[in-house]
Amino acid sequence: MAPAWRVLLALAAMVGLAVVSIGLDLMIGHQTAERTAQLVDDSLRSVALADDLRYQAHRLSASPLDHTQLRSIVEQINVDARAYDPIATSPGERSEWSSLRLLFDRLQQHRADPSSISPLVEEIEQSIARLIEINQSAAREDAAAIAAIHRRGLIVDEVSGAITLVLAVVVGLALLRSLRHQRRLVRMHLAEVDERNRELEVFAVRVAHDLRGPLAPMALYTDLLLRPGADIPAVVTRIRRATDRMLGLIDDLLALSVAGSLPSGRADVAAVVREVLDDLSAELCDADVKLSIADCTTACTSGVLAQLVRNLITNAIKYRGAGRRLRVEIDANPRAGAAALPPGCQAKRCSRDSSLIELSVTDNGVGMTDEAVAHAFDPFYRASTTQGIPGHGLGLAIVKRTLDAMGGDCHLVSTPNHGTRITLHLPAA
pLDDT confidence band for 399 (50 / 70 / 90): confident
pLDDT of 209 higher than 70:
no
Q: Measured in Å, how far apart are the chain's first and last C-alpha atoms?
A: 48
| 65-120 per-position pLDDT tens digit | 677 776 777 777 778 777 777 777 777 777 877 887 787 777 767 666 666 667 77
Domains belonging to the chain, first-starting first, are 4-178 (1.20.1330), 261-427 (3.30.565.10)
Please state, as a whole number, how many other Cβ atoms lie within 10 Å of the Cβ of residue 369. Answer: 13
The answer for residues whose C-beta is within 8 angstroms of residue 204's C-beta and 6 or more apart is none
Strands (E), 112-213: none
What residue type is 76 in one-letter code?
A: Q
The reported pLDDT for the residue numbered 412 is: 92
Give burial (CB, 10 Å; 0-12/13-18/19+) of 305.
buried
| 290-315 per-position pLDDT tens digit | 999 999 999 888 888 888 898 899 88
What residue type is 355 in one-letter code?
A: S
The 8-class DSSP code of residue 330 comes to E
What residue type is 285 in one-letter code?
A: C
pLDDT confidence band for 37 (50 / 70 / 90): low
- Least confident residue range of 129-143, 345-359, 366-380: 345-359
Alpha-carbon gap, residue 237 to 221, rounded angstroms: 10
| 162-201 per-position pLDDT tens digit | 787 787 777 778 778 888 888 899 899 888 888 877 766 6
Give CA separation, 58 vs 53, 104, 348, in Å: 9, 11, 118
Alpha-carbon gap, residue 334 to 356, rounded angstroms: 6
Which of 82-91, 252-261, 346-355 shows the highest mean pLDDT? 82-91
Alpha-carbon gap, residue 75 to 81, rounded angstroms: 10
What residue type is 105 in one-letter code?
A: D
The reported pLDDT for the residue numbered 62 is: 67
pLDDT confidence band for 268 (50 / 70 / 90): very high
pLDDT of 389 higher than 80:
no
Give percent of the chain with pLDDT exceeding 90: 12
Alpha helical stretches, state H, 85-113: 93-109
Strand pairing category for 267-268 and 288-293? unpaired
Alpha-carbon gap, residue 199 to 12, rounded angstroms: 48
Which of 25-34, 45-54, 213-222, 329-338 shows the highest mean pLDDT? 329-338
Which of 49-53, 183-187, 244-248, 371-375 shows the highest mean pLDDT? 183-187
pLDDT confidence band for 138 (50 / 70 / 90): confident
The reported pLDDT for the residue numbered 173 is: 81
What is the pTM for the complete model shown? Answer: 0.45
The 8-class DSSP code of residue 345 comes to -
- Nearest-Å Rg of the Cα atoms of the chain is 55
- Least confident residue range of 32-46, 128-142, 278-292: 32-46
Strand pairing category for 288-293 and 327-335? parallel
Give percent of the chain with pLDDT exceeding 70: 68
Q: CA 316 from chain center: how many Å? A: 50
Give the mean model confidence (pLDDT) for residues 236-242.
73
The reported pLDDT for the residue numbered 196 is: 74
136 closest CA partner among 46, 66, 4: 46
